[in-house]
Amino acid sequence: MRDVVVTEFWKLRRSGVTWTTAGVIVVAVLGAALLTWIVRDPARAASLGLLGAKANLAGLEATWPAFGSYLTAIAGGGGMLLLAFVVTYLVGREYVDDDTSKNMLGLPVPRWRFLAAKLLVAAVWWAVLVILLLITGLMAAWTLGLPGMNTGTVLSTVGAVLAAAGASFLLVPVCAWITVASRSYLAALGFALGMLLLGNLIGHTGWATWFPWSIVPMLTLMSGSVPTPLPWTSFLVLGLTFAAGTAGAVHRLNTADNP
């Protein structure tokens, strides 16, 4: 198992995808910081052409709690898409870019180990991105001098971001399953995008707490009516989704013929 994990990490050493995902995180945080600055100083933003005449800033606040909610939304809703991309890349490259799936499936190694290694790499990759999100967000907030920033509120935001990041990770084995079944990138990425849109729609219904792709946006306060706290059954649904996705992907690997 150690050799499989080391190999997965080693394969990333020359990949530019890791830097691309880091850039996405930084741009998202800086975008939230720019929006916060516009809300704080709309007159100056308008003079620089950053604020349209019909822009509506009602309900937006230039405070640390508000900015922290943006960071949580990036880790949750944004993480659903970004993690789908990460896992789809790790699994799909065996079939598309490297054409090494026949070697992987032919080795005298239990196939579940390959999936476990890829999920572990994805988890570490995602953890680094979340740390980058928090560091960039804290630096941006400190630069802006946002009110309401103290030890208690910062720790609360960090906890919310970590919870959202963890919840979004529980959805990724389903994307791995679809990638293994389709042997391509597009099906899983299309599924992830479709579920993000469907989750937002169902988030405004009474079924939201039972639909995994609605639960994460609700956890990050991105979606409709949010019960506080979320019922324990919602976290059970997320756990079952992770288990089902993992089991499905392992089963597909175990029954796959060499391409």
Kindly state the DSSP code that residue 4 receives in the 8-state scheme: H
Q: What is the CA radius of gyration of the chain?
A: 20
Helix (H, G, I), strand (E, B) or coil at 61: coil
Whole-model pTM over 0.85: yes
Q: Provide the token pair at 46.
A: 């308008």
Q: Provide the token pair at 51.
A: 């604020």
Number of neighbours of residue 188 by Cβ within 10 angstroms: 26
Q: Provide the token pair at 200.
A: 């937002």
**What's the residue count for the chain?**
259
Inter-axis angle of helices 79-92 and 212-219, to 10 degrees?
130
pLDDT in tens, the chain (259 residues): 676 677 667 777 777 888 999 999 999 999 999 988 888 877 776 665 666 554 556 567 888 998 999 999 999 988 899 999 999 988 887 776 555 555 556 565 667 788 888 899 999 999 999 999 999 999 999 999 999 889 999 999 999 999 999 999 999 999 999 988 888 788 888 999 999 889 888 888 888 889 999 888 888 765 544 556 778 899 999 999 999 999 999 888 887 654 4
> 33-45 burial string, b = 16+ CB within 10 Å, else e?
bebbbbbbbbeeb
Query: CB under 8 Å to 111, separation ≥6 — which residues?
Result: 104, 105, 250, 253, 254
Please state, in angstroms and as integers, the Cα–Cα distance from residue 175 to each residue in 115, 125, 179, 192, 219, following that order: 12, 16, 6, 7, 21
Kindly state the DSSP code that residue 94 receives in the 8-state scheme: T
